[in-house]
A and B are shown apart, each in its own frame.
Chain A
Amino acid sequence: MAEKVGVYVCHCGSNIAGKVDVEDVAKWAGENVKDVAVSRDYKFMCSSLGQKLVEDDIKEHGLTRVVVAACSPHLHEKTFRRACSNAGLNPYLMEMTNIREHCSWVHKDRAAATEKARALVSASIERVKFQEPLEPMFVDVNRATLVIGGGIAGLQATLELADAGYPVYLVERQPSIGGHMAQFDKTFPTLDCSACILTPKMSEVGQHENVTLLTYAELEEVSGSVGSFKVKIRQKARHVVFDDCTGCGICVEKCPRKVLDTEFEAGMGNRKAIYMPFPQAVPRVPVIDTESCIWFERQKCRACEKLCPTNAIDFDQQDELIDIEVGNIIMATGWEPFDTRKIPQYGYGRLANVYTSLEFERLCNAAGPTNGKIVLRDGKTEPKSVAIVHCVGSRDERHNPYCSGVCCMAALKLGHLVVEKTDAEVYSFYIDMRTNQKNYEEFYQRLLGEGMRFVRGKVAEVTDAARKPSEQGKLIVQCEDTLVGRQQRYPVDMVILMGAIEPQRDAREMGLKCGISCSMDGWYTERHPKLDPVATMTDGIFVAGTCQGPKDIPASVAQGAAAAARVSGMITKGKVMIEPIVAKIDEEGCSGCRICNNMCPYNAIEYDAEAQVSRVITALCKGCGTCVSACPAGVISGAHFSDRQIFAQIQGALWDAWQPQDAASQDAETVPVSAP
């Protein structure tokens, strides 16, 4: 029996209708394409009236297939599947054709775009006729959640879920949780002490009965899918037995090897070879840095082992792989600072008194290496003038084209700290002052009142080459004061570079492990930039904080909480729907060659040794189709992507090249299908 196809072409306001003659496409399909029973165009198909149109037609005309030509299926496939369900049609008998992103938005010529839209619609009509009704599957959602990254976003997500009564695994790469926020002195715009507001959250996480804290650990591997992920975590060897250590700190005190702390202290202070990153570290269990430990270098010393009151030191400890099972994963992997050496004209690393903003944070932190005294690299001279340089590696096509968003406010904060703690004159060199959150502009006003000087111009260079006596022994900041329109030179004692916020260097690799993608810049891509900012294209994987894009502390906290709320919702629901788009093996034809077993990227095919056939574990199958094309006997088929459907789609797309003599053979049974 011939199918009855309904075709619905959306205007999307002027988004599609502006470039595609949608009325023509609908009319053409209705008059020219075989088996089309109804063909309409509508201003907004996704509106409730548009959906009703589809529903009513299904009931009235007894449609057996539906094609919606509109936007990307990412946006509205669910909407129209639901509409079909409501009218009693199996939702998998609906096909969406993307004539917006794939057509109207990318073409200029209206006639050609209309022609292409016809081809796309025709392709979908031919395809949909061969689609089969499918039933969605449901799996239980594991109540445990994995949070990757123990910065402020990850901590917030962890606490929200743990407080709601759900188990959380928090994995942190560093020996302590806390992230970058633990390094800062004050937070803008309220100037409350960063540690004072962060450490209570850290210890709460450390002591929470629902939290399993895995610090000094990294994500190794993720398998499975939403609801039931299987995760391997590598617990790096601390060389301190976690359960035996009391955190007394004698080992750290007695360790004879001092090294520069390039992580927590940003190179401004030292630590020991056995260390906790900072006094409020959670957990209070040190790690041995095997690269600087004397024992690992030349088998001498063992001072820590001798003095440890609980014999917790274990030089032979090895990395350990921990397997856990979770229902959802929240990525909160954070950011890292731009390497300011990449802009040599700013002199970082060459001119002693040029600092990165993180170095300066440690310098003015009361718990930092100078106890909060702002002094030059000589360790004693207080600067009389300080220049703060904005946009170092941000808003720059040579480095990062994006605005890092937080540096303007951070620069104002640092400026305030200099004004508060010294008599120095402070200059801020900015391109545009961006203070667009609650109470931020007020903070800018405050700094204007405090006498901070603002020069509108991107710094051209920082040099120590004096041109006149007043510049002798100074760092000279050269730039154009664009509001005056003249080139100016400002001799100062100290320069602070506000480096860009960059994605973690291994963000892409980590994303691949979880099956989520990054933007060109390296930030994780959210499901929808406006309406779904913490979900990703992979169900069950959420993102929070700066790994999704530069943002400040309030925004990171908000995202952490938002991601936790989404996960909570999944757990409360208890079951999650899985697309029935999976592979199926015809056991009659399977020779048991097992080629598909190893090809499957999701380990979703198992071999039944007794029956000597391979079987697909449907809960794990993602419907990628690798096995379908690999099977030498051609007995694996992919639901919703069968050869017959794809060939019909190609034929449909080539409708205008279709010869009449071929048309006779366009019958369903004789479509050129490779599989028997």
Chain B
Amino acid sequence: MVADTHGAHRSKFLRDVIADTPDGEKIVHCLQCGSCGGSCPNGAEMDYTPRAIFAMIAADRREDVLTSNTMWQCVSCYFCTSRCPQDIPITEIMYSLKRMAIREGKARKSDAPALAKTFTDLVEKYGRSFEFGIASRYLLFNRPMSMLKSSGMGMSMFAKGRLALTPTRIKNVKQLQAIINKARELSQHD
């Protein structure tokens, strides 16, 4: 397969997606076969299937892609990635599109970015996920009215010992934070 030719691609958007995604240069090998769109459990809910998104990326339709709901419907099941005949890291590309949409303020009216942000903030702080914190903070800021509805489930999870009320911190969380900060610094680009 031809690699490292992405600098020559006409679509700026394509170049950006490739630069933002590990193994991203494989996207140029998309055959438009639709294995991804056909396999996706949420495919029917998407504005555009992943296959269509790849065609739009190549056509430089940045606005249409970043304002679509496609990547926000992705549940990271990796079905598409495991079946793609061209070995394209489709799920990773969905992550790239989410990041780009947030960064460029194009993320559509959805709580998904907020949930993602809450999750990563807490992981960064404690070094591991803290379900009670995620649920309460996310619901409080985004849909306070549904807090009551979810409390029943929270109570029964707590009763079964599946929900801790206080976060646990990993050892040397400072090291993890240093790694994240370094990664953040490295990923700063134009």
Contact = CB atoms under 8 A, between A and B. Distances in A.
Contacts of B31: 395, 431-432, 458
Interface in B64-108: 83, 85-87
A479 B34 contact: yes
Interface stretch (A51-59, A87-95, A218-226, A480-488): A480-488
Contacts of B34: 456-458, 460, 479-482
A306 interface: no
Given A480-B43, A487-B40, A487-B49, A460 B87 contact: no
Interface in B38-56: 38-40, 43-44, 48-49, 51-52
A460 B49 contact: no
B85 A460 contact: no
Given A457-B38, A461-B39, A482 B32 contact: yes
Contact of A397 (B36, B39, B86): B86
Interface string A484-524: 01110000000000000000000000000000000000000
A236 to B, nearest CB: 39
A345 interface: yes
Nearest to B37: A480
Contacts of B11: none
Contacts of B37: 457, 460, 480, 482, 485, 487
B33 interface: yes
A480 B83 contact: no
A478 B34 CA distance: 11
Nearest to A456: B34
B35 interface: yes
A360 to B, nearest CB: 23
Interface of B: 31-40, 43-44, 48-49, 51-52, 83, 85-87
A398 B87 contact: yes
B38 A458 contact: yes
A345 B83 contact: yes
Nearest to A343: B83
Interface string A577-617: 00000000000000000000000000000000000000000
A76 to B, nearest CB: 28
A485 B40 CA distance: 13
Contacts of A458: 31, 33-35, 38, 85
Nearest to B52: A485
Contacts of A478: 38-39
A335 B164 CA distance: 61
A459 B38 contact: yes
Contacts of B38: 457-461, 478-480, 487
Contact of B44 (A395, A456, A459, A486): A486
Interface string A207-219: 0000000000000
Given A459-B38, A480-B34, A487-B37, A395 B48 contact: no
B51 A460 contact: no
Contacts of B52: 482, 485
Contacts of B43: 480, 487
Given A391-B33, A480-B51, 13 more contacts: A395-B85, A431-B31, A431-B33, A432-B31, A459-B38, A460-B38, A461-B38, A480-B36, A480-B38, A482-B37, A482-B49, A485-B49, A486-B44
Residue of A432, A460, A479 contacting most chain B CB atoms (<10 Å)? A460
Contacts of A487: 37-38, 40, 43-44, 49
Nearest to B82: A398
Nearest to A461: B39
B17 to A, nearest CB: 20
A461 B52 CA distance: 19
B52 to A, nearest CB: 5
A396 interface: yes
A456 B51 CA distance: 12
A478 B32 CA distance: 16
Contact of A396 (B39, B40, B85): B85
B90 to A, nearest CB: 13
Nearest to A345: B83
14 contacts: A397-B85, A458-B34, A458-B35, A460-B34, A460-B35, A461-B38, A479-B34, A480-B37, A482-B34, A482-B51, A482-B52, A485-B52, A487-B38, A487-B44
Given A478-B38, A482-B51, A487-B43, A460 B83 contact: yes
Interface in A386-426: 391, 395-398
Contacts of B32: 431, 482
Nearest to B33: A458
Nearest to A390: B33
Contacts of B35: 458, 460, 480
Nearest to B26: A397
A481 B32 CA distance: 11
Interface string A362-375: 00000000000000
Among all A-B residue pairs, the 6 with the closest Cβ atoms? A460-B38, A480-B37, A480-B34, A458-B33, A396-B85, A479-B38
Contacts of B44: 486-487
Nearest to B88: A397
A461 B38 CA distance: 8
B79 to A, nearest CB: 8
Contacts of A461: 38-39
Most buried by A among B31, B33, B37: B33
A308 to B, nearest CB: 53
A479 B43 CA distance: 10
A480 B86 contact: no
Contacts of B51: 480, 482
Most buried by B among A391, A432, A487: A487
Given A480-B51, A485-B52, A486-B44, A398 B39 contact: no
A345 B38 CA distance: 12
B14 to A, nearest CB: 19
Nearest to A432: B31
B89 to A, nearest CB: 12
Nearest to B85: A396
B5 to A, nearest CB: 12
Interface string A319-352: 0000000000000000000000000010000000
